[in-house]
Amino acid sequence: MKKYIYYILCVGCLLSAAYPETTPFGKISLPLGKVSIKSSTTHTWEKAKPNRKVFVNDIIKTAPKSRCEISLMGGGKVRIGENSELELNSASVKPMEKKFDAHLKKGSVWVSAKAAFGEKKNIAIRTPIAVAAIRGTIFKAKSNDTESSVQVYEGNVDVNKANNFLKERKEKRKGFGQGAPTGKPRFTLGPVTEIKAPTQVSGPYEISLEDWISLAEGMQINIREDGKYHLFKFDQTKDDEDEFVRWNKQQDGQ
């Protein structure tokens, strides 16, 4: 009997090693067209189906004329446009405090994550060039090989270069690692330098982004791979002609 129990324990250990515990990120609430998921446990691509749960380290990819909506744990939506690839990096869901990080490798993504009263909801979308982080708002991010852009539709969005973000997060993790004097979270946003109007930028792509800046509703920032950026107020009437924008606003009930 003891030997039998021992065998069961060994098999359980092997299964745990083969299929490690993963952190829930949300679920696929609306796959349209050809949407694929690469699981963090099996490392194979498979078709995304409605109500399929997604986890940290999963990768979601959309084909041409395809889209995908993810319902986040604890509320909020992330919608992925066509020809896009999004990696789910981290998630932490606690009462009145929710944090999500994702890496937009290419394409476009729409984030709609209004925070409830008294709730802290932090969502960071990183591209190869920039990072956009919010605390309960609506924005769109796009990325290609040479440039990333962020447009704000509601609330405020903090933006920085991706390498600055990664360096800052690495330093904060060192500070709150093993033996750290406090139990503070490993990563928090800041400091933020607010730019209130595009007139502070003397011309397109003449200033290098070196710190966090805050974008208000109706503002857009384009950041090149060399770190230089252009901040301006985008034409919302013309923007509404974009099919992906119209679809997302309809989904948000705007």
Low-confidence spans in the chain with pLDDT less than 70: 1-21, 166, 168-203, 205-206
pLDDT of residue 175: 57
Where do the domains of the chain lie?
Answer: 22-251
pLDDT of residue 34: 97
DSSP codes, the chain: -HHHHHHHHHHHHHHHHHS----EEEEEEEEESSEEEE-TTT--EEE--TT-EEETT-EEEE-TT-EEEEEETTS-EEEE-TT-EEEEEEEEEETTEEEEEEEEEEEEEEEEEPPPTT-EEEEEEE-SSEEEEEESEEEEEEE-SSEEEEEEEES-EEEEEHHHHHHHHHHHHHHTSTT-SS---S-----EEE---GGGS-STT-EE--SEEEE-TTEEEEEETTSEEEEEE--HHHHTTSHHHHHHHHHTT-
pLDDT of residue 32: 96
Please say whether the structural domain 22-251 has been given the CATH code 2.60.120.1440.
yes
pLDDT digits (tens, 9 = 90+) for 150-162: 999 999 999 988 8
pLDDT of residue 193: 42
Q: Could you tell me the pTM of the whole model?
A: 0.79
pLDDT of residue 121: 84
pLDDT of residue 169: 65
pLDDT of residue 77: 94
pLDDT of residue 210: 81
pLDDT digits (tens, 9 = 90+) for 158-214: 998 888 776 766 666 565 455 444 444 444 444 444 444 444 444 576 678 888 889
CA–CA distance, 123 with 75 (Å, rounded to integer): 12
